[in-house]
Structure 1
């Protein structure tokens, strides 16, 4: 019998615990001991990475979504001996345009500090999903169900996003098998950011999901689960880059 491995999940901004990964956690628990860590008490990416290492099992596969993916990169850089493999979902290497920083500052942080974030939630949630599904009330309800962090926790996470620094030049030090999952209609982080990750990570596979925005685990749950289960198989092939997507052969 194979020894069960540890899978640590780092949710994205505002996301609490297992809610947004419920469709993947259930089938993966047959093979992995899964630990979901909401990191929201620290105010820097490096501090959040240290918190992950303090709370996580000794050695683990690390999955990070959005902000959680950025933190996952810091974890892999801080303690490469503990990270067996890396899964980066809808994330970025800290490379933000001024427009994006302004959005995080004025569209997210300012309403939090002013106490008016409730007015902004509908627009923020619609920005997280593919444009064709922005009126999908069932999907939006799933997003809302996973947003239970306190105002202070959200402020901490937003400050980390707003202050993200480009770490792309450091990523070549990460040589564990890495999977990137990205929705082609992601309105928050760009395809060029995925290409930056791909260019710097030496052992990397990319899967682009069509008709999907920033939340693959909810927008395309079956495809996301299939990609994870396939890539996590013990014996994997090397990747070969084809166009904007590296696929296994």
Structure 2
């Protein structure tokens, strides 16, 4: 994934990634530090999988391979937002509509990538560009401790925590995410 990204990207670029995309973005900044000018990581992790997470993603793979993607997404979406928002029809339909455009094989590839992820933990110090880590305080997918560790290990990282927000920060709190991105990028370009 990262190799394709670097092949297709311009010579110098900023990158923002959510969840698995945040891990891919980290790898891009590690592998090509001279090319990545700004890095934004949202609700992500370093690719380390404990046994519980590994079993969780193996179950995802099983569900997808057995044509239960719709069921899986329904459960994952409900768990990815604040419990009070899981009943919000507009929010949930926004998630489902976006995911409906993504092919089944894409979900399977994503799950396999997570299961085969190479941890970035010991390489984060190689990230040279300004980095913003955005985290929803109630993210059930990844922990605050992971975000704090990434912040500590990436030399120029800042951590922004969005209150009343789960894993899908850009969907749950789009105004807060947009304001953070705008403020941070404007500050970087001064």
The residue number in structure 2 matching 1:162 is 115
Q: Look up the match of 2:96.
A: 144
For 1:65, the equivalent position in structure 2 comes to 18
Per-residue Cα deviation, 1:95-128 (whole angstroms, up to 9, x for no partner): 222111111111x110111112222221111111
> Within 2, Cα distance between the matches of 1:188 and 1:166?
16
**1:46-85 CA deviation, whole Å, 9 max, x = no partner?**
xx01110111122111111100000001111111111001
Within 5 Å, give how 1:108-127 maps onto structure 2.
108-127=60-79
Counterparts in 2 of 1:76-95, with a 5 A limit? Answer: 76-95=29-48
1:132 CA drift (Å): 2.2
Q: Is 1:215 aligned with 2:168?
A: yes
CA distance in 1 between partners of 2:6 and 2:72 (Å): 33
| Helix, strand or coil at the partner of 1:120 | helix
Higher helix proportion (structure 1 or 2): 2
Task: Name the one with the larger strand percent.
Answer: 1
Q: Normalising by structure 1, report the TM-score.
A: 0.73
Runs (5+) with no aligned partner, structure 1: 1-47, 238-249
Alignment of 1:99 onto 2:52: yes
CA-to-partner distance for each residue in 1:141-188, whole Å, 9 max, x for gaps? Answer: 110111122121211110011222322111101121000000001011
* Cα deviation, residue 225, structure 1: 0.5
Partner of residue 198, structure 1 = 151
What's the offset of the Cα at 1:235?
4.8
CA contact (8 A) 2:12 2:37 kept: yes
The answer to whether the 8 A contact 1:131-1:185 is kept is no
Tell me, what secondary structure is at the counterpart of 2:14? Answer: strand
Q: What does residue 52 of structure 1 align with?
A: 5
Q: Distance in 2 between matches of 1:53 and 1:95?
A: 22
Partner SS state of residue 141, structure 2: coil
Unaligned runs of 5+ in 2: none
Q: Are 1:182 and 1:209, in contact at CA under 8 Å, matched by a contact in 2?
A: yes
- How large is the Cα RMSD of the aligned pairs? 1.4
TM-score (norm. length: structure 2) = 0.95
State the distance in 1 between where 2:167 and 2:56 align.
Answer: 16
Q: Find the aligned partners of 2:61 and 2:21 in 1 and give their Cα distance.
A: 18
SS in 2 for 1:84: strand
SS in 2 for 1:143: helix
